[in-house]
Each structure stands twice: as C-alpha cells, then as structure tokens.
Structure 1
Amino acid sequence: MSHDHDDRPRLTAAQAEAALNPPPGRVGGDLVTETLQGLGATTVFGAVGRPAPGLPGALRRSASLSYVELGTESHAATAADAYGRITGEVAVLLLSAGPGALATLPALQEAAAASAPVLAVCAQVPAAGLGGGRHGYPGELRDQQASFRDVVKSVHPVRTASQIPSAIAAAWESALTAPHGPVWVEIPEDVLRAGTVLPPVSALDATPRELYPRPELTLVAAELLARAERPAIIAGGGTVRADASGKLRRLAERIAAPVATTYGGKGAFPWEHPLSLRSWPGDRHTTALLEDADVLLVIGSGLGALSSGGHTFAPRGRIVQIEADAGKLESNHPALGIHSDAREALDDLLDTVEDREDASAADRVRTVLEAAARDRAGDLAPEQRVLAAVREALPDASPSFWDLTALTTWAWSAFDARRPNTMHSAQGAGGPGYALPAATGAAFADPTAPVLAVTGQDGAVRSAAELATARRYGLPVTWLIVEDTGRAGGGEPACPDLAALTGAFGVPAVRSTPDSLPADLAGALGGPGPSVVVLGAEPRRPAPEAG
C-alpha cells in the first residue's frame, strides 16, 4: 500500500542540535516531562512534596510545565478531573506507587463517569520487583495496574526508558479520543531515576481519532425525526463535552422538538427557550411528555439511574440514541444506536433532516412547566432563595462545583446554568468533599475568573485543607458552605465551627443569612484570592432522592 502524503514529524535546527548533543544530568523523568511538553501540557497536578520518583528534578528543569501541589493524592486527582472538564484538554496527574495511587481510585472513577481526560503517570516499584513476587519494596502491590484497569479507559505500562514517549503519547491520544476519559501510565521508579543517553523528546503526534456516525444510520434517524408527530429530545453530558449546544438548538428548532437536559447536560439548551423542558426529568409531567414522544432523540446520555428516575423511565416510542461510548448504546432501552461524537452526529443530522413544522410544541412545553410549578409550589421556597442568590451573584461564564447535598439535588433540577460546562457535581464516585478540590483545579484553567464551590458541613470538614492550596496560589475560589441542620438520619455529627476552621487557614469567613447571601456572595466572588461564605440553613426535610 502506498500513501500520497507525508505526516512524519520534523526537527527544527535547535532540536537537531539538542538530539546530537543532549544536555547532561537527564534521567528517565526528563523523558516524561519532555513528552508532556511536546504534547502541549502546561499544568500537572500532584500531592504536596510527593511527585513520582525521578520527576522533581525533571520538573525543575522543565521550561513550561507548572507543577500544582494539593494536600492529598485524592484531591489532586479531583482537581485534575475538573481541569480536564473545564478545558477539554488532557489534565496530567503525577503519582507515587502504592497507597498514594490507590487513594485516587474514587476520583478517577468520577473522572470516568464525567468523561474527563485525565492522564495519570504513576511510579511503580523497581523493574526487578515486577511480576507478582513479594520483594518488600515500599508501596509494593502484586499487580498495581489491575486495581485501575476497570476504572480508567486504557492502561499503558512502561518497562524501559525508550518506551516512555510512545506510552505517554498513546495514552494522550486515548484520553482525547471520544469518549474522553482517564488513562493510566505506569513506570518503574528505577527507570524514572536512572540517567538516560536518549535525546530530548521533541516532535510527537498524538492526534485523537474522530468518531463519525455511519451515514446510513444518520439517514434513518433524519427520516424518523422529520416524520414524527411528537418528537422530543433528551440532551446529556455528551452534548456538553462535544461542544454541541449550538447544533442542538438548531436541530430542536428545525424539527420543533421539546428538549430536556439531564443533570450532566445542564446548560446544553437555553433555560428560557420556548422548547426548553429544562432539567427536571424526574418531574411526572415532563416524564409523561417524554414517554409519549413517538420519536425520542437521546444525545450523549445512556439514560442511567440519575437521568431516568432510577430506571423507571419507560418511553413508548422509537428511540434514536447518539452516544460516543459504545458500551452505553442500548444499555437501558432498545434504540437506533448511533456510535458517534455528539457534535459530528448533530452536524450530519442538520445536513440531512427536513424541516418539521409544529406550532403546538411550545404550547405543550409551557403547559408542562406550569403544571410542574404548581406541583412544587412551596416545596422549594428556602432552597430557591439560596439558588436565586447564587445565580444572581455568579457570573454566567464562571464554573461552579457542587458536593452531593440536599441543596445540590434541588440545583440539578431548578438551577439555571445559563452556559454549558459551567455546573459540575460528583455523580460517579466523588462523594462529600468533591467541590473545593474540584474548584481549585478549575481555577488553574483561568486564574482570572472566579470559581464557586458549594458544600455541606460534612464536605467542608473533609476538604478544608485545600483552602491552604487556594491561598498559597492566590486562586479566585469562593467556597459557599451550607450548614446542614435538620439532616436526615436522626443525628447531628460533631462539627467544628466552620468559620473558625477556615480562618485558621488564613481565609476569614463571612457568616451569611438567606437575606444577606446575594450581597455576601457577590462580594466574595468579586474579591481577590480565596473567600468563604458560611450560610446557616433553616431546618428542612430531606430533598427527594436523586433521579
């Protein structure tokens, strides 16, 4: 087979000179940092004082990599997850072997659930200790990568220095090929520490593969949508990750289809649009409309438990499902499954589908929203005041990160995100304490823009140490702590004075009330560096179960 193009990487004169005359003192860790630089990385995350062996010196010698230190490996992985979500770029995480690596499992599972492109580079015991024997090395596991294989998208073991650039480049490509996700590179610590005579890494190509829809499936889907009597659309997180919100709106308007977003898809469709069912898929009136659709287009969602009322959603019409993760196609409902990136699939649908007129669609949406509002009249009063205050104070383009609290379950449904990719919460395995380290990671994507973390008192105790990180780097992170009084479970766990706790980190807290919250939040978000607002909540019944 012959090729009529040449995409081989080329060296500049300076790179050629460096290759022939490598600088002295380089080790295997330098091959890691040089590869990351060549692929375009600028920020790497890790725990304070504990990057993988062989990397501290390599990081100091790096001309363009900035090493961000968080309090724990788990928080570093959460920060990397958030950085990857916000930028859409690979977020690099550096880890040591054994317990430090294992501590990141929940955060990497969360990254996998959110399809966040995180590249974990982890040390392994010396090469002589590999193979399952018990050699007594610190941090030794019989098969470390096995612990991560079912969590990350791909695993790339390294055994020699020459393998480092290729393994990292392959992992980088995997992380960015739809569906995005976390990947794992594992390198023996003696390989990282050992001197190397290999030339500096320069030209690399790790271009992700595009995932296009099959044209015959696009044709059938377009015909179904154009001929439907009551089409509807559910837009999930894959729509946001593919940056396909504009194409979603054009398609919905072309075929006059009501649109509901999942919690992961918040912001994918304008909240106040006449066709917007917003993000209340658990509401019985919205559910009835979606179940009654004769053609339901599901974009970037597997219709999992949170998006289907705990798998009670029972659509009666034909389903067309666009999903980049082949494992999610028809995983919960029979469908015309289109394995594709959402942006590419919507682009092809827009080129194919015929216009459909339906003057009643907006009226049906309005009727559903009015009925839903009547059902929950009074239920949301205290929560709605808090959510309204957050929405008033938070700039539209600023991201927010939410721990899983009662307030968050209301926010999933009732908070207008306004922009795609601006509201994030732990829906996979993040658990309490997710919001502050995530907001810290997001702040490194754009240190000039404010970021909001929303946490209950349990999450505050678990993650308060990252205030030291935010203060050390001067990050514009505002932490809203909602004190959870009247909790479910019948007991009040011991909790410190949260305002005094944050003050101990040199970040004084403002104690707020529902009446003063809009002004307090606006002041905190508008100021320099980190800030804390503690809201004493009124006793409330628990929020409804998520989903």
Structure 2
Amino acid sequence: MSERASVSREDEQDEQPVETGAESVAKALENAGVEHLFGVQGGAIMPVYDALYEHENITNITMAHEQGAAHAADAYGIVTGKPGVCLATSGPGATNLITGIADANMDSDPLLALTGQVPTNFVGNDAFQETDTIGITQPITKNNIFAENPDTVGDDIGTAWALANTGRQGPTLVDLPKDVTQGETDSQPGAPQTPDTYDPPERADDVAVQAAAETLANAERPTILAGGGVIKAEASDELRQFAREYEIPVVTTMPGTGSFPETDPLSLGIAGMHGTGYGNLAVSNCDVLLGIGTRFDDRLTGDVETFAPDAELVHVDIDPAEISKNIEADYPLVGDAAAVIEQLYETMPRPPNSDEWVEQCETWKEEYPLDYEMPEDEPLKPQYIVERFDDVTPEDTIVAAGVGQHQMWAWQYWTWTQPRTWVTSHGLGTMGYAVPAAIGAKIAAPDQEVVAFDGDGSFLMTAQGLSVAVRENLDLTIVVLNNEAVGMVRQWQDGFYEGRRMASEYPWIPEFDKLAEAFGAQGLRVEEYENVEDTIAEAREYDGPSVIDAIIDPGENVYPMVPSGGDNAQFALNEQHLEDI
C-alpha cells in the first residue's frame, strides 16, 4: 500500500462514525494511543474483538492463557510506563486475569483490564460464564467500572485508562456486558481523562521540604533508599543528580532496581531480605534515611523495630496512605517523586558532612561483597550463568524473572544501570511471571534484548506462553535455572523446618530443551561450565525464542539472607551463619 493510500485509509477510519458500544470501546483505546493488546477471545468479549477488526493500528497478541495476558500487559506497562491492556471474556476468562491484576496492584503497575460480561438482564441469574467481576476485583484494582450504557462505555474506557496512568499508577478494570457492547450508539468517546475529583499531589509542602532539607544537610550518615516510585515518576535522572551533588550513598529496593546505576561509586546495591550486606548495613546504621517511592514492605524492612533504628526518616511518596503505614515518617513529603526531589535539590542549604560515612560504606563493600564458590566437584552454579549473560548483553537489556531463587540470583548478579530493565513480580511474588512478562517486554521494546530467568517450578506454570513467542517470532531468551525443585521453598525447609522437604522437590521433571523444540522454539541444554558461553552465544544468535535448560547445583542457596522478620544488620552469608542467627 502506498503512503498516500495508507494516510487516506487512516483518515477514513478517524471519521468513521461509531455505531455500537464495542466500536466506542475500540475508538476509546485508539484515542488513548493504545497500540497493543494482550488477550484471549471468548463469547462475551467477542463484540469488542469484532470492532477491533477494523483498527489496524491496534495489534492484538493472542495469549495462551488469560493469566499470561495480564502478566504480559503488566510487563508492557513496566517497560513503557503507560498502561498495558489485557482482554478476557466473562466468567473463567475474567477470573483467570485475577492473579495478574493483583500482581499489578501490589506493584503499582499501570494496567487496564477489559472483561466481557453476560447481558445486563442476565446479571445475578447465574447465567453461563457469569461471575461478579466487579465484586471480585474491587479489592485489587485502583478503580473498576461496570459499563451500563452504549453511549458512555467509550468514556468509561478513557476514564479507566487515565486513572491507571495518573498519580500512583495501578490496575483498573471495565466490565463490559454484551448488550452494552452490542447496543447502538452514535456517541464518540473523548480523549482519556480522570474525573474532576481526582487530583493527585505533585509538589510537597514547602515548609516540610525545608525541614527535611535541613535535616539531610545536618546528617553525618545520610542514605537514600530508592523505591519503585522513582521509576514510576520518571525520576531517575533527578535522583542521580541529587545523590551525586550531595554525595549521599544510594540503596535501591527490588522495584527501584535500575533507578540508580550500580556502577556508580555511591551505589550500595540492593536492600532487604536478600539484599547486599553493605546495603543493609548502610540502612541499619544511617542517621537520616531518605526513602523515595517505597512502601517499606516486610521483605525490605524485616523487623520494623530494628529497621534503620537510629535514623530520622524523610519519606517521599505520591500516595499519602503509604506515609507512616509501616515505618513512622519524621518528615512526610507527599508528592510526585521527580518534583519532590527537585524541591529538595533546590532547598538543600549545603551538602552533608558525610565523607567518613561514604568511606565506611566503601569499607563494607570490600568486606561483604556478593560472592559464591565454584568447586570443581560441584554442579554448575546459577550465579555464574547470570554473570556471563550480563557480561555479553547490552546495558539496556531487559531482564524478566519469575519468582524464587532464580529471581534473587538474577537480581543480585546482574549489573543494573538503567530503569525499566528489571521486570518481575515484587509484592505478590507470582510464580510463572517470567514467560508472559518476557513476551510483553519484547512487544513493548522490540529493539532491546530480552532475557528471562525462570525456575523449573515457575516455568512449568506458564510454559504454554512459548507458543505465543514462537507464533509472534519474538527474539528472546528464556533461561531455566533448573534445580528440580521449588528452590526457595526447599531452602526455607532446610533452614527453618529441620530439612523436612515436603512437596518442594520433583521426582520427575520434563526436559525443557525438548519441550521448547516441541513448541517450535530453539531448545538448548547446558550442564558444564565449559559450555556456558557457547550456549549463551547460540541462544543470542538465534532469530526467535530460545530456551536454555541450565542444570544447576540443586543444593545452591541464596545468600545474603535475613530471616523473615529479622534484623537486616544480622544477615547470613552462608548456612552456618543462618543457624547462628
């Protein structure tokens, strides 16, 4: 088609009148700039899909399972910063989205879910494939809407998209009864906009900022804790400028990974249960902690009574409900992270006198490095595989991960330098996240390399997503760190349940390289150190999805480790340390 013909057709599409509620839905998605959808067809959502047939600028990715659709859309939102969109039919289609919606809600990821519903006059009658989608999703969405009228359904979509994208991001849902989407209308939906009553704060109170800045300037042991809110607010540049100007060490949470480059001398890596020893020591010994965009969850804090015990807390968050929810804030700064960091930057009267503190942090980095042993008589270590991938891939490579030991090894042993490159399930801890997330990430950023680290247990939950990666010819690599167990459960059983390995090990497991080949992907297998680099090269050179079945040491554990509810300053570096705590 010529460029002129293409433009003409687009103009005709723009001018085409809306005739049904479903067409209004499609038009509203177009108005929002939506380019990709992730979904599974079905009876109640079919009118929407039918309307999308004429919208060639919106590409649908048909997923293998609705949970995968939600995770793919979630990852799309993480990488782009704008809501990913997933679709499902009523009943089981909608309920299969629940895990992904709950995951996005815990991590404040922008997501719009569209669910089909039985006709309005059937609602409440236990009709075929009916479920109370609004009632089920109300606790796990930022907002949900039951569409009631073909004339307003398009604006319902616009409202939901805008709410998912504005302020503290999160998932929204619109439930679409079939009579509403099939109903007649000539009402054209407008551009997405939030309700007039929704007014999230941008700048923090100037008096509070002044007091916080004075406290930071007077600190002798200041530390910044950068959370996921830094990345959500596109505030990584402001964070880097502020930390470097005032020479304040930076620790990141798991969702905040990449907001501050780990190659910077001021970086202390990651904090929490499996954070670096030096990062946890910095948080535990600082006298002023500047927490930005973090909700201070239990996997970060351990025992709240021992978390940053000597520190005055400056807490920056766009959601006032997070202030003092878990850790009492001495200086609450409610506002957008980028705007508030800029306020602090401009208000700081002087840099803190923290040279000795920075030197102490450097000493801790030397004393407690992330490290692992590679005895010749033991199987392949997973950390080595992560490091070798990190060595050969570009800095902007996107890393997806499921949940478990493999997730922690990927988090610990990758060198993070850029935001929106770490795509995983944080708060909900959803196994099976990696494969659909890698798909969503690759669709979102086709020019960036995508590597997914998964565990054998996690991979078995959503391996059917390989069919989508093959069908869409997505050039990505999935590395299954295979220890024939649900490894993190096994580690906890060994550490806290006297080694009773109940339901955590697999007596039999598929050969994942052959399974990949059955799906049409490239399947590879590696068991020896001498083959790791060649296997990685082969996977990366392949034009399409590759799966590496990496047979790793089944006894390898994740360290450092702070026992659940423990003191972050009392971290274990090995099994003996764990027994002594």
TM-score (normalised: structure 1): 0.89
The structure 2 residue matched to 1:136, chosen from 126, 130, 153, is 126
Shift of 1:407: 2.8
Report the 3-state secondary structure (helix = DSSP H, G, I; strand = E; otherwise coil) of the residue aligned with 2:140.
Answer: coil
Kept in 2, the 8 Å contact 1:95–1:123? The answer is yes
Q: Could you report, residue by residue, the CA deviation over 1:460-519 in whole angstroms, capped at 9, with x for unpaired residues?
A: 222221111011111112111111147523632431121111110111311123332233
Amino acid in the other structure paired with 1:367? T
Matches within 5 A, 1:8-407: 23=17, 26-47=19-40, 52-130=45-123, 133=124, 135-141=125-131, 143-194=132-183, 196-201=184-189, 205=193, 211-281=202-272, 282-309=275-302, 311=304, 312-335=306-329, 336-356=331-351, 357-373=353-369, 378=373, 382-407=381-406
Counterpart residue number, 2:495? none
Counterpart residue number, 1:539? 554
Amino acid in the other structure paired with 1:468? S
Partners of 1:49 and 1:78 in 2: how far apart?
Answer: 19
Q: How many matched pairs? A: 527
Shift of 1:175: 0.7
**Which structure 2 residue ranges, 5 or more long, are not aligned?**
1-8, 491-500, 565-581
**What is the CA RMSD across the aligned residues, in angstroms?**
2.7
Amino acid in the other structure paired with 1:173? A
Partners of 2:519 and 2:13 in 1: how far apart?
Answer: 45
Amino acid in the other structure paired with 1:198? D
Amino acid in the other structure paired with 1:407? H
TM-score (normalised: structure 2): 0.84
The structure 2 residue matched to 1:527, chosen from 538, 542, 545, is 542
Report the 3-state secondary structure (helix = DSSP H, G, I; strand = E; otherwise coil) of the residue aligned with 2:427.
Answer: coil
Shift of 1:363: 1.3
CA 231–30 in structure 1, closer or farther in 2 if over 3 Å, else same: same
Shift of 1:355: 3.0
Q: Could you report, residue by residue, the CA deviation over 1:433-481 in whole angstroms, capped at 9, with x for unpaired residues?
A: 1101000011111223321111111122222211110111111121111
CA 50–263 in structure 1, closer or farther in 2 if over 3 Å, else same: farther
Report the 3-state secondary structure (helix = DSSP H, G, I; strand = E; otherwise coil) of the residue aligned with 1:455.
Answer: strand
Kept in 2, the 8 Å contact 1:393–1:525? The answer is no
Counterpart residue number, 1:9? none
**Which structure 1 residue ranges, 5 or more long, are not aligned?**
1-13
Partners of 1:162 and 1:445 in 2: how far apart?
Answer: 32
Partners of 1:272 and 1:279 in 2: how far apart?
Answer: 13
Counterpart residue number, 1:450? 449
CA 334–23 in structure 1, closer or farther in 2 if over 3 Å, else same: closer
Amino acid in the other structure paired with 1:324? I
CA 252–78 in structure 1, closer or farther in 2 if over 3 Å, else same: same
Report the 3-state secondary structure (helix = DSSP H, G, I; strand = E; otherwise coil) of the residue aligned with 1:162.
Answer: coil
Counterpart residue number, 2:410? 411
Shift of 1:53: 2.9
Shift of 1:23: 4.7
Kept in 2, the 8 Å contact 1:241–1:421? The answer is no
Kept in 1, the 8 Å contact 2:44–2:178? The answer is no
CA 16–273 in structure 1, closer or farther in 2 if over 3 Å, else same: closer
Partners of 1:16 and 1:160 in 2: how far apart?
Answer: 27
CA 373–492 in structure 1, closer or farther in 2 if over 3 Å, else same: same
CA 209–505 in structure 1, closer or farther in 2 if over 3 Å, else same: same
Shift of 1:55: 1.3
CA 442–289 in structure 1, closer or farther in 2 if over 3 Å, else same: closer
